[in-house]
A = this chain, B = another copy of it.
């Protein structure tokens, strides 16, 4: 059903995007078309990655998911960086973190909690993820912020590059830990083994083809999307910060949002939590540092220095997530708390 809608949007949206950008349609209209089309395309990319992951087996599959999971966001960000929109990229990274931790997890917990009184998830995974959230968001993002206060531009960039490399190495180490050395170690303790036979939706060839075509389309549209930001910001009275944090983040993560909520409704809370927090870690430990490194080859380099409101929003979101998730249980009220936090931040960034 949803797949059909996304297919229709794709087959209408891609041509419209091409035509519209050539005909110089009004920016607001183009902005809307681009956003919708990217959301639809990213659902294709998600399904293709999923199929490939099943074909490739759990280890390579996990690696595929971990690298291609945030491909759309990465692509939009690279084009935004090329257009010199460093502030928008940092804002969209912030938006992804907040969106995943507060909006995705909040909706999952809340909607899942309306159906089930108490939902449980693997507390070992949650704690493993808590540690990484503290490492990535609180430690690795705060240090450059504070240290750069008394540093010049070059030192700040050097520190950012150093931290980025360490973040990526630790991200790879985390994959090694999860997929190889400690695979399944923490699962047998409180879960019945459920080896559902998973059959890929598409064959290897089709999946690669879909992935390639969708990626090219996303890239093409993203390049045009970032140039509409300025006009949209002006016309709606939004700051570029707000566009980055709310709009880009939602467009870049819409597919994940939908599937996390779906899992919560099916009481598969482990997967819902994994999508929300795993995706946050992907952004913080892989996408963000990769963008810092990529930016070195672009005219405007991007240090890993967020604005203070962005940083504080991310830190408090992480602390709230940890406080709510360390008991391995969720209910509708925990979801409401996360959503309330998201609304507070939305108001804040809107007014900023």
Work out how many copies of this chain go into the complex: 3
A227 within 8 A of B: no
**Residue from A132, A308, A333 with most neighbouring chain B CB atoms (10 Å):** A333
- Closest Cβ of chain B: how far from A135's Cβ, in Å? 5
In the complex, chain A residues 315-352 whose Cβ is within 8 Å of any chain B Cβ: 316-317, 319-320, 322-324, 326-327, 331-334, 336-337, 340-341, 343-345, 347-348, 351-352
Chain B residue, CB-CB nearest to A308: B146
From known contacts A166-B340, A331-B177, A337-B131, infer whether A146 and B351 are also in contact, taking CB-CB under 8 Å: no
Chain B residue, CB-CB nearest to A325: B131
Which stretch from A151-159, A230-238, A269-277 is at the chain B interface? Answer: A151-159
Chain B residue, CB-CB nearest to A307: B150
A142 within 8 A of B: yes
Q: Which B residues lie within 8 Å of A147 (CB)?
A: 309, 348, 351-352
Main secondary structure of the interface of A (DSSP, over half): helix
Quick check: A316 and B138 within 8 Å, CB to CB?
yes
Quick check: B134 and A323 within 8 Å, CB to CB?
yes
A194 within 8 A of B: no
A140 within 8 A of B: yes
A182 within 8 A of B: yes
Chain B residue, CB-CB nearest to A327: B127
In the complex, how many residues of chain A place their beta carbon closer than 8 angstroms to a beta carbon of chain B?
A: 63
Quick check: A333 and B177 within 8 Å, CB to CB?
yes
Which stretch from A69-77, A167-175, A214-222 is at the chain B interface? Answer: A167-175
Chain A residues near B (Cβ < 8 Å): 117-118, 124, 127, 130-135, 138-140, 142-144, 146-147, 149-151, 155, 158-159, 162-163, 166, 169-170, 173-174, 177, 181-182, 185, 308-309, 312-313, 316-317, 319-320, 322-324, 326-327, 331-334, 336-337, 340-341, 343-345, 347-348, 351-352
Query: Complex formed: what's the CA distance from A323 to B131 in Å?
Result: 5
From known contacts A149-B308, A351-B147, infer whether A344 and B140 are also in contact, taking CB-CB under 8 Å: yes
Chain B residue, CB-CB nearest to A336: B173
Q: Which B residues lie within 8 Å of A323 (CB)?
A: 127, 130-131, 133-135, 322
Query: Complex formed: what's the CA distance from A163 to B308 in Å?
Result: 19
From known contacts A159-B347, A348-B159, infer whether A334 and B140 are also in contact, taking CB-CB under 8 Å: no
